[in-house]
Amino acid sequence: MQAILENPLYNHIFIALILILGLAIMGRILKSLAEIIFKRFVSKTQTTYDDRILRVVGSYLVPTSITIGFALGIREVRKAFPADQVTQHQILDYASEAVFVLFVILVARILSRILKATLEWYIEDLASKTNRTGTSQVAFLLMKFVNILLFFIASLIVLDHVGMNVGSLLVSLGVGSLAVALAAQETISNMIGWFVILLDQPFRVGDQIRLASGDEGKVYQIGLRATRILNADNNIVVIPNGDLVKNRIVNISLPDMTTRVVIDFNVPFDSDIDVIRQTLLEVAKNDKDVIQEPAPEVLTANFGDSGILLRLVARVYFSQRAVIESRLREAISRNKALRLSVQQHVVQVVNGPQTPQTH
């Protein structure tokens, strides 16, 4: 036993094991302190964000401490070998590289978990405040992108650590990415538009929307490249997502599915406006599909050449708008108490001077 302790190699290996074991115990102690002390503080806050971050960091304290212990242990064991023992130093170099790769993976994993916890907290908080749906899909895709980016950065760090020329690799990737972006800029623009639509949610599947062109329809599907809208003719209209993001859109379904029916008509100047107003309100009230809250209104819109322009405004459900508007117009035209004025044009033909005839 004394001979083993007197051997420098065994001494350094023993110290390395103590370093690894000591850092593992230290990591475990730090995790326990975090669960006892820090958890007591974060539990008093109103948000759950700090609780999520504490759980993520605490779960990686022990693996990170052990990894650091292995790095220090390898450095300690290296002291036992003279510089001329190349094989032993090469083995330790490979071990150091492996520990470094493991450490980079741990850091990337911790960052990924922290970003995931942040997104999950943000989505839950946003859903509780705005009642939005569909943001989980955006978060899933965003996490995929973040993981790929972290993997790419970690790979570059590892390659640079082992001596590869990362600069030339980045230049090649940059030129290739630029060529792909120029060739597929419309597709990329539509994909970004799809991401913006899912994140901002100006409309959702099933919403009734009106486009800048005046077309109306129900959102049938929100795809990666284009959004499909089912119009009144039961046909699918395909619109690129990039165009939807850039142009003005009216969401008829928000805040609810009600809309206005506006009917304009002329009455003679000598008409009793109050009587006509009551008659029109009775016509709107008698229609079972007209929404009574808010109540229909009759407004004086303008004074025309042939009479007074009145406007009946009523709230109806969008799906019944055309039918109810037609029904109200027919009821107004059949009502005997309403005298509608029709604009008349008198054309007077005046004979001009006779044109002399020549022979």
Alpha helix locations (H) across the chain? 2-6, 8-33, 39-42, 49-59, 61-78, 86-130, 135-161, 166-183, 185-200, 241-246, 273-286, 321-334
Contact 306, 342 (CB under 8 A): yes
Is the pLDDT at 228 greater than 90? The verdict is yes
Q: pTM for this structure?
A: 0.58
Rg (CA), the chain: 38
The pLDDT of residue 291: 87
- Interval 149-208: pLDDT, tens: 888 888 888 888 877 777 777 777 777 777 776 767 788 888 888 888 887 888 888 888
Q: In percent, how much of the chain has pLDDT > 90? A: 9
Q: Judge whether 359 lies within some domain.
A: no
Distance CA 266, CA 263 (A): 10
Using one digit for the tens of pLDDT, what is the confidence trace for 262-278? 988 888 888 888 888 88
Tell me whether residue 136 is in a domain.
Answer: yes
Same domain, 321 and 301: yes
**pLDDT at res. 152:** 85
- Average confidence score pLDDT of the chain: 82
Instruction: Based on the fold, state whether residues 244 and 271 are members of the same structural domain.
Output: no
How many domains does the chain divide into? 3
Domain of 327?
Answer: 258-334
Residues 50, 163: one domain? yes
Lowest mean per-residue pLDDT among 117-126, 144-153, 343-352: 343-352
19 and 155 in a single domain? The answer is yes
Q: Does some domain include residue 183? A: no
Tell me the CATH number at 302: 3.30.70.100
pLDDT of residue 354: 58
Average of per-residue pLDDT across 17-38 = 86
pLDDT at 239: 92
Q: Which of 77, 60, 95, 96 is nearest to 17 (CA)?
A: 77
Residues 11 and 150 in one domain: yes
- Give CA torsion, residues 213, 219, 222, 227, to 10 deg: -30
Read off the pLDDT of residues 193-227 as tens digits, 9 standing for 90 and up. 888 888 788 888 888 898 888 888 899 988 888 99
| Same domain (yes/no): 227, 157 | no
Is the same domain home to 109 and 214?
Answer: no
pLDDT band at 146 (very low <50, low <70, confident <90, very high): confident
pLDDT for position 227: 92
| Residue 350 resides in a domain | no
Please indicate, yes or no, if residue 190 is contained in any of the structural domains. no
Q: Rounded mean pLDDT of 121-146?
A: 71
pLDDT at 61 over 60: yes
Same domain, 156 and 270: no
